[in-house]
Amino acid sequence: MELSRTPSGLGGGRGTLSVLLLLLVPTATLSAAAISAPPECGRPQQLSRVVGGQDSRDAEWPWIVSIRKNGTHHCAGSLLTRHWVVTAAHCFKGYLDELSLFSVLLGAWELENPGPRAQQVGIAWVLPHPRYSWKEAAGADIALVRLDAPIQFSERVLPICLPDASVRLPPHTQCWIAGWGSIRDGVPLPHPQTLQKLRVPIIDSEICSLLYWRGAGQEAITNDMLCAGYLEGQRDACLGDSGGPLMCQIEGSWLLGGIISWGEGCAERNRPGVYTNLLAHRSWVQRVVQGVQLRGRSRGGGQTPSPAGRRGIRETPDHLPLPPL
């Protein structure tokens, strides 16, 4: 596991500045702002095992959530807005009619000591991608989870950004994953289940397709997947990490580049982790999730998509009507 620190630890200075600024704002404006403006996406505010990972710091990844089934950790997910979490569709395989078994835990770090500032909410409904087929590793492994009550943002509960159309994730881009999944195949994360993090470079898709080659016409790596990790093995996502974020920092904001989806085993040689590529599904998410924030290379947020012809990755078609929100 990489020991290098992420620059999010520099957020303390920003926090102090915000407090000073807030003291200068009349109270009426302050309370209005607290109701209407969501915090900026992808910017942790606080402080400063996955397989082969290391402990994260408290509130280092404030958008990661634990999706619980019957009260125990089942999958991870990422917070997009006060109402929406994004995760892997396969996390709900066979359970779309039994959502009352599930809950979402936000603001946790040590899963066994979530603390008084963690929040737990139920799930109102789950929208798997219309192209998701419930088959193993079939692509479009992404689902949107509508929470049954809006959550409160805090320094430990913040939204992640979606990549805008300016974002590319070429091979060797350094991204991070985090999760409470197994630390080896069959070995659960030990007490107190501290959120693990791991730096993973993006792997060239052609190389990954060859590694997972099943024969012509049976592509394992579809163009809405991306691979990340290490060909030598040893470091990877594993069981229980599914649904969690692959996070890439661009111009100071953390973007959701992918969703932990599958892989053959965990941390095995030539079997890197496979992720649902958010660049391929951004517009679907954007259509469903009102208020999701986009960031990229263009300064000022880049909310306007570039012309389709300039996109490196074709977005996946999904010609189904959306359900009412």
Q: Which residues sit at the interface with ligand 4AZ, rule CB under 6 A?
A: 236-242, 260, 262-263, 266, 273
- Please confirm, yes or no, whether 31 is among the known catalytic residues: no
CA proximity to 246, closest of 286, 283, 203: 203
Coil/strand/helix, residue 23: helix
Which of 73, 74, 83, 90 is labelled catalytic? 90
Q: Give dist(CA 265, CA 245) in Å, integer.
A: 19
Q: Which two tokens stand for residue 218?
A: 């049976």
Please state the closest distance from residue 121 (CB atom) to ligand 4AZ, in A.
Answer: 23
Nearest distance in Å: CB 273, ligand 4AZ: 4
Structure token pair of residue 120: 């737990």
Does the annotation count 103 as an active-site position? no
One of 8, 141, 236, 253 is an active-site residue; which one? 141
Min separation Cβ 116 and ligand 4AZ, Å: 29
Whether 242 is catalytic is yes
**Nearer to ligand 4AZ by C-beta: 224 or 241?**
241
Nearest-CB residue for ligand 4AZ = 263
Q: What is the DSSP letter of 13?
A: H
Q: 132 or 153: whose CB is closer to ligand 4AZ? A: 132
Give, in order, the Cα–Cα distances in Å from 74 to each of 53, 68, 101, 131, 242. Answer: 19, 5, 11, 23, 8
* 159 versus 179: smaller Cβ distance to ligand 4AZ: 179
Give the CA radius of gyration of the chain.
Answer: 19
User: Nearest approach, Cβ of 25 to ligand 4AZ (angstroms)?
Assistant: 45
Q: Looking at 103, 182, 242, 253, which residue is catalytic?
A: 242
Which lies closer to ligand 4AZ via its Cβ, residue 157 or residue 246? 246
Question: Quick check: 143 and 92 in contact, CB under 8 A?
Answer: yes
- Residue 264 is encoded by which pair of tokens? 């053959």
Q: Which residues are catalytic?
A: 90, 141, 242
